[in-house]
Structure 1
Amino acid sequence: MRMQNVERGPIARVAGVIGAIAVIALAATLGIVMLAVMLGLALIGAVIIAARTWWLRRQMRRAAARGEGFGHTARPGTPAHGRVIEGEYSRGSKDDPHHPRR
């Protein structure tokens, strides 16, 4: 199958060039808008992450200044430092005579 080259007139050529320029301009404009949207979202995300990091560091500095661990919340009426009670727990086997039967 052989394609024939159709000769177009000068008006059709000019219209084709103008159409191609319009399509390229529209694609470039859309690309610039999408790039701006993506950069804006990245900037918003960076601000949120920076604010969250600042807030957590602030909380850690305050907790360290009070001598508490991070995330420590003392119950009302208990000392801020609290007490640590150490112990050991082991679960016996079913052969153990002290093992509770169910």
Structure 2
Amino acid sequence: MKHTHNKLSVLSAGFILALLSLNAYAEDNKIEAPMNEDQVEGRVEEMKGTVKEGTGKLLDDKGMEIEGNIQKNKGKIQKGYGDIKKDIKEGN
């Protein structure tokens, strides 16, 4: 029981750190609002995938780790698609 509690504490801390790092990334890269829907959804999926991948590593669950990696990469692709749409709309 105590071992499971420790894993959940580490997982919670990891999730919080992931959210903080996303915020720091946004500030460093001067992500300007407004973003289009694909950019937002892509970033959210990328972060969720990163957390899931880390959780899989922490819990030694290869299936969860692989799912997280796939979800993270799908998010990157969707974010990239949103970036392209925004560039086209802005004429860049």
TM-score by length of 1: 0.34
Q: Which has the larger radius of gyration?
A: 1
Name which structure has the greater RCO, CA cutoff 8 Å, separation 6+. 2
Larger % of helix: which? 2
